Chains A and B, each alone.
Chain A
Amino acid sequence: MNNVIEFSEVGKRYAGEKNAAVRRMSFGVGEGEFVCLVGPSGGGKTTVLKLIAGLEEPTNGIIKKPANVAMSFQAGALFPWLTAFENVALGLREKSMPEEELARTVDRQLDMLGIFQYRGKYPADLSGGQRQRVGIARALAVDPAVLLLDEPFSALDPKTTAELHDDLIQVWQRTKKTIVMVSHLIEEAVSLADRVILIREGTIDSIYKIELPYPRRENIGFHHDVMHIRKEFFK
């Protein structure tokens, strides 16, 4: 499998910070892989995602990544003055896509995420789950080589989270996109990803290959992979 993302000895220290957020980190993400970064708060997970997205520049080391990377943020991060349709169209308009093709692309993404009927609604009129779906549709609309998800389910109730997990797996299997997601829930990481990377204090603590068939939701909390990662997490 070709790596679409490659970190070689990457470090990141924010200005004015004593400790580096990311230290000499090396790992790769294969094409079409679903990787989940887990770890304690402040461990550097989100910084890794920002480095991949180009939102931050590494202090040292080399990052190999494709140019077209899209990201979905916590709580959707939608523009409140734009409808669901216009939010999804945001990136496409910057690419000057013809209006007819744009409408087709946006509607296809909205349909895939099950929110086509809300295309004319503003974010304030959408539920948390619907906003998150719009955020993911916006990221998928630009047809990225890599989809980054920053704790996309952290603000949602368990039922909505479970529904979105199922939909995300379906979208991933259908689109074959490379996905890198940050989560603070080990169960979530194991139920979604085919590789889980435990990040602690800016370095990779351990990497776990999850070889379970989908769907994995049932009793995932007691699975030995989850128990093992949890043990490492709290070590």
Chain B
Amino acid sequence: MRHSRHIHHASHTFVLSYPLSLSHRLYTIVLGPLLIVALMYVIYSAYPVFAPHSSEVVSFSTMAQGALYTLGRITVAYIFSLIFAVPLALLAISNKTLEALLLPVFDVMESIPILAVFPLVIVVFLQFNFLNGAAIFILFLNMLWNIVFALVGGLKIIPKDIGYVAHVFGLRGFSYIRKLILPAVFPQLVTGSILAVADGWNIIIVAEALHSYMPGGTPAQDLFGIGSILVSAAANAQNGIFLTAVLIMVVMIAFINFFVWQKLLHYSQRFRFE
């Protein structure tokens, strides 16, 4: 079953990926950009046609601005994913019947290739002339299931005695969710979020360069962001822009990893049951 793989994956990502020392964490921040530069150097040496040339006009500040636009879309989509994932996961394990009913449905939903529904999503959002909404919705769909399955996995490993403690000491309703459920699944929420946001970065090029999914679409209809800059640079053989955009994206991801996810992973250790 696909969801069990996800739960397994999510719960182990934490253990395997958390670098404890500062030097190790710093290493992860420079490793990505260094690898990209090295890879590009090898490619350009072997195939000079891919090397940067002088007729490229997008400025660095425009690209950095594009990266921030992209980050904004991913952030909004992530917040929506969180808002929907928590009640979905809670609903799925609220009783055995719902669990048997909903988990296979979630499994199927997660298996649907996101690009298959993208043209439909664009058509719907075009009605409202809200293409940013289409991009965010696609990112949201791509992120949601990572968080849902991670949360379901987290909810299932809450020790029975802890649930009894909550009952005996009167934790009910919202208090039960706020004081027990949310802290108890915090480690899984963090690992699920890391996977979700990584999936968001994976799909960002498609989500921003959406003209190819529009009936009669043109590049002018693409959303401004690092993803669409990458697509445009690749299409126009602007190798320097392409390389810079890739580097900006990798550096941004590495910084978010260092300053957000690694800190959250460290903090989430306190929330783990022994």
Query: Which residues of A does B touch, CB under 8 Å?
Result: 50, 53-55, 69-71, 73-75, 77, 79-81, 90-91, 94-95, 122, 124, 138-139, 142
Contacts and interface: CB of A to CB of B under 8 A. Distances in A.
A77 B168 CA distance: 12
Could you say which interface size class chain B belongs to? 20 to 34
B161 A73 contact: yes
A69 B180 contact: no
B273 interface: yes
Nearest to B272: A80
B164 interface: yes
B168 A53 contact: yes
Contacts of A95: 170
Contacts of B43: none
A77 B165 contact: yes
Given A55-B164, A79-B179, A124-B274, 4 more contacts: A53-B164, A54-B167, A71-B164, A79-B165
Nearest to B273: A80
A94 B164 contact: no
Given A79-B180, A95-B170, A124 B159 contact: no
Contact of A124 (B161, B170, B179, B270): B270
Nearest to A15: B96
A91 B169 contact: yes
A77 B171 CA distance: 15
Nearest to A73: B161
Contacts of A70: 168-169
Contacts of A142: 169
B168 A69 contact: yes
A73 B272 contact: no
Interface string B230-274: 000000000000000000000000000000000000000011111
B96 to A, nearest CB: 10
B270 A80 contact: yes
A75 to B, nearest CB: 8
Contact of B175 (A55, A77, A94, A139): A94
B270 A90 contact: no
A70 B167 CA distance: 10
Nearest to A89: B169
Contact of A73 (B165, B186, B273): B165
A74 B161 contact: yes
Name the residue in B165, B168, B272 with the highest tally of chain A Cβ atoms < 10 Å from its Cβ: B168
30 contacts: A54-B167, A55-B168, A69-B168, A70-B169, A71-B164, A71-B165, A71-B168, A73-B161, A75-B161, A77-B161, A77-B162, A77-B164, A77-B165, A80-B273, A80-B274, A81-B183, A81-B186, A81-B270, A90-B165, A90-B169, A90-B179, A91-B168, A91-B169, A94-B169, A94-B175, A95-B170, A124-B270, A138-B165, A139-B168, A142-B169
A71 B168 CA distance: 7
A208 to B, nearest CB: 28
Interface string B34-54: 000000000000000000000
A168 to B, nearest CB: 18
B167 A55 contact: yes
Contacts of B161: 73-75, 77
B107 to A, nearest CB: 25
Contact of B270 (A71, A94, A122, A139): A122
Given A80-B270, A81-B271, A138 B164 contact: no
A14 B138 CA distance: 45
A50 B164 CA distance: 9
Nearest to A139: B168
A222 to B, nearest CB: 34
Select the residue from B165, B167, B179 with max chain A CB neighbours within 10 A. Answer: B165
Interface in B159-209: 159, 161-162, 164-165, 167-171, 175, 179-180, 183, 186
**Max chain B Cβ within 10 angstroms of own Cβ: one of A50, A69, A81, A138:** A81
Q: What 9 pairs between A and B have smallest CB-CB spacing?
A: A91-B169, A77-B161, A94-B170, A73-B161, A81-B271, A81-B183, A71-B168, A77-B165, A90-B169
B21 to A, nearest CB: 20
A199 B215 CA distance: 75
A50 B168 CA distance: 10
A70 B272 CA distance: 25
A158 B102 CA distance: 48
Interface string B57-70: 00000000000000
Nearest to B96: A15
Contacts of A54: 167-168
A70 B169 CA distance: 7
Contacts of B159: 77
